[in-house]
Amino acid sequence: MAIQIDTLRNQVQDIAQKLGIHKYDISGSSVDETSVQVDRGEPKQVKASQRSGVTVRVWNSDGTLGITSTSDVDQAGVELALKTAYEASFFGRKEYIPDFSPQAMDPIATVLEPTVEPAAVSTLIERLIDAEKDLLSRHTAIASVPYNGLSQRDVERFYLNSAGAARADGGFYTSLYLYTKTEQEGRKPRSAGAYRVSHSLGDLDIAGCIAETAEKTLSHLDYHKVDTGKYTVVFSPEAFLDLLGAFSNLYNAQSILDNRSLSKAESLGTAIASPLLSVYDDALHTANIGASAFDGEGTPTRRISLIEQGVLSHFLHSEGTARRMGAQPTGHANLGAKVSVGPHFYHAFAANPGDQSLSLDKADNVVWIDDLQALHAGVQSLEGSFSLPFDGWLMKGGEAVSIESATVAGDFLQLLKAIVLVEAEEKLTPGGVAPKVWVEGLSITGE
């Protein structure tokens, strides 16, 4: 579905005028996606989908709000949605009613997206079969690649309102993931995976994804138990951002207002982490392939400092949370049955040098965590605690020895304060960009 924002705006204006609706906004997106999976050299699943989601909000003359959603942006679909939202507005809540973002008509950044010609499904299958074959050939212990996928997605987003705001953007991107499983007599199965994303199939680092998956998998073949105790722990970029995301209530204004956060309104400006760490949410980061220039309320997205040299520096806001807390919207609103707030793309980095004597090449009795598991079950986000199984290694004299099975546990706020090094080299992950992060004194339980 190609969104012609000016045509849609004029169409909606005419329908709203006919229905006697004076205040409304519409936010939506459409996605055309093709994905393939393979199994032992044969296509396992081929999917092509075309889907759209549109949220329509209408305010009546009493100022109360009605919301509805639809997948149709043709004339009949828009008319029905506006009418339904208008009828629902008379049953809307009487307090904390959302309004238009004061920034909905501000200029937005230009997100430069290259023109991409989608690859044929046959080409996607061929590339993925080749990747699977290459991975299986790396070692006899690699018995299968049970989880794999190569997909390309064309996304369009738009926002308009009755005050004259109208904006649209979108992009095309391709992603690959590979995840192995080993089989060795008398040994437990071991697994590892990697992920890559780019605008086009031609630019996708398939070779790098294969190499990383193979290297991680083979490093886990010779595994040993780890003694229970306190360790210095090195989090991979993926693991650190997963943990950061699991405790995002720390800087989520909606969570704070709902009393479901580790922070309070007055927490801004307090030191919550080591001064070695800075964390931003940066929707427009050059590495963010799926960047959007505006949020669900039409507010421009931008680089927002969350933690600056260890100090909690900003909350993420929608229009409503910003108004209630005397702040400005930050471009993090998502429209649904209610307005929610969420991050776009993390950028964690070293704010200060830290202990430069620390290095994995020389590390001894240090646990290196590559992948955290069971985040949905092992995180108590309102208490700040976590206990999570992980894949990783015990460093012995600079040599990585795979850990058979273990969990890492601790308190997230204490973890942030116990950071002793944020490395300089950064890596792109599904959740953002980050380096390895060293933390002292975490509890590791061997099993």
Residues with Cβ within 8 Å of residue 270, at least 6 apart in sequence: 311, 312
Rounded to an integer, the average pLDDT of 66-81 is 93
Sign of CA dihedral 274, 277, 278, 281: negative
Q: How many CA atoms lie within 13 A of 227 on its CB side?
A: 6
Q: How many CA atoms lie within 13 A of 232 on its CB side?
A: 15
pLDDT for position 30: 93
The three-class DSSP label of residue 64 is coil
Q: Is the pLDDT of residue 270 over 50?
A: yes
Cα-to-chain-centroid distance, residue 112? 21
231 in any annotated domain: yes
320 in any annotated domain: yes
Cα-to-chain-centroid distance, residue 274? 24
77 in any annotated domain: no
* pLDDT, tens digit, 9 for 90 and up, residues 304-339: 999 999 999 999 999 999 999 999 999 999 998 899
Query: Is the domain of 329 the same as that of 408?
Result: yes
Q: What percent of the chain has pLDDT over 90?
A: 94
Q: Is the pLDDT of residue 1 over 80?
A: no
Rounded to an integer, the average pLDDT of 174-202 is 96
pLDDT for position 195: 96
Query: Is the domain of 246 the same as that of 209?
Result: no
* pLDDT, tens digit, 9 for 90 and up, residues 284-307: 999 999 899 999 999 999 999 999
96 in any annotated domain: no
Query: Is the domain of 324 the same as that of 425?
Result: yes
* pLDDT, tens digit, 9 for 90 and up, residues 151-172: 999 999 999 999 999 999 999 9
Structural domains in the chain (count): 2
Query: Is the domain of 207 the same as that of 286?
Result: no
pLDDT for position 45: 96
Query: Is the domain of 214 the same as that of 309?
Result: no
110-115 contacts: CB < 8 A, separation 24 or more? 110/293, 111/169, 111/171, 111/284, 111/291, 111/292, 111/293, 113/170, 113/171, 113/172, 113/199, 114/199, 114/200
Q: Is the pLDDT of residue 2 over 80?
A: no
Query: Is the domain of 150 the same as that of 250?
Result: no
Query: Is the domain of 238 the same as that of 188?
Result: no
Query: Is the domain of 197 the same as that of 232?
Result: no
60 in any annotated domain: no
Query: Is the domain of 289 the same as that of 389?
Result: yes
Query: Is the domain of 214 the same as that of 231?
Result: no
Residue 387 CA to residue 117 CA, distance in Å, equals 45
Confidence of residue 356 (pLDDT cuts 50, 70, 90): confident
Rounded to an integer, the average pLDDT of 414-425 is 97
Q: Is the pLDDT of residue 114 over 70?
A: yes
The residue from 218, 237, 259 where one domain ends is: 218
Query: Is the domain of 212 the same as that of 226?
Result: no
* Domain boundaries, position 173: 121-157+168-218
Query: Is the domain of 149 the same as that of 259?
Result: no
83 in any annotated domain: no
Residue 54 near residue 71, CB atoms below 8 Å: yes
* pLDDT, tens digit, 9 for 90 and up, residues 219-248: 999 999 999 999 999 999 999 999 999 999
The residue from 179, 201, 218 where one domain ends is: 218
Average pLDDT along the chain: 96
25 in any annotated domain: no
CATH at 211: 3.30.2290.10
179 in any annotated domain: yes
pLDDT for position 113: 74
